[in-house]
Amino acid sequence: MMEIWYGLAGRLLPFSWAEREFMLNALLAVLLVTPLFGMLGTMVVNNRMAFFSDTIGHSALTGIAIGVIMGLYRPLWSMVIFAVLMAVAVSIVKEYTTTSTDTVIGVFSATAVALGIVILSRGGGFNKYSVYLIGNLLSISPGELGLIILVFIIFIGFWVAFFNPLMFVSIHPSLARSRGINVRLVEMLFAVMLAVIVTISIQWVGIMIINSLLVLPAAAARNLSGNMRQYHFFSVAIAVASGIIGLILSYYWDTASGATIVLVTACCYLASILKKHVYG
């Protein structure tokens, strides 16, 4: 499959950067991951879950620490499992407490980050895990691309099956509940899917900025769209375009690819604000 991609890209992309295999791997990853972030971001913004998704990203530190304790060379699966457990725990706790949702999420976030840093910094060994803070999209391998393709297929299936309930719950939870929709189940499934995609992407995007890649495309799309169809279309389009442009700029500027992509997305958001206030 990768040979097909390399051959196709070689014919369609007559640029010097496209002669680099690591750039083609990164480009394919961008084309697969950014649409997911664009779609997820619409629901994150609708449900005011930006703080929650940020917490999931930060919890990766504890997932990494658990992987280190278990002796794993690549702690990806410990990160994913811990993030899923974190998402489920937050969803359950906020249902059974009178404390505000932001407070519950803040408690979980602070605890997870502190625990991860304590474990990873023991003996002064935190520096070797700093790559997870900024990410490295250019290091992605063909094997990891296979995992992204699998996640992409699963997410599209989830999106098709649960799009209507997700929209209903995000717009009016009480009405959705009265129509027989299991609001708690839908919210938990979305939280789990969000946790999986965010955690898998962290090693290439970076803990510090991954939430921006979720929120900014959807926030920009909200300023440009007049209906829900446009909202989702613009969010995905902005995420994909920012991903491609940011990746190419990072190659020529020799900068962190994830951070460069987020800066391009931030420019799109600022442009959307300008468009909204100038042209209405």
Encoded tokens for 250 = 């990072």
* 18-274 placed in CATH 1.20.1530.20: no
Residue 271 has pLDDT above 90, yes or no: yes
| 217-259 residue pLDDT tens | 999 999 888 888 899 999 999 999 999 999 999 999 998 888 8
> Which sequence spans correspond to the domains of the chain?
18-274
pLDDT of residue 123: 61
Q: Do the beta carbons of residue 182 and residue 200 sit within 8 Å? A: no
Q: Which residues contact 123 (CB under 8 A, 6 or more apart)?
A: none
pLDDT of residue 83: 87
Q: CA-CA distances (angstroms) from residue 149 to 10, 128, 140, 197, 228?
A: 21, 28, 13, 12, 27
Encoded tokens for 214 = 């979720």
| 116-148 residue pLDDT tens | 888 877 766 666 667 777 778 888 888 888 888
Encoded tokens for 236 = 């995905």
pLDDT of residue 72: 75
| 5-32 residue pLDDT tens | 878 887 888 888 888 888 899 999 999 9
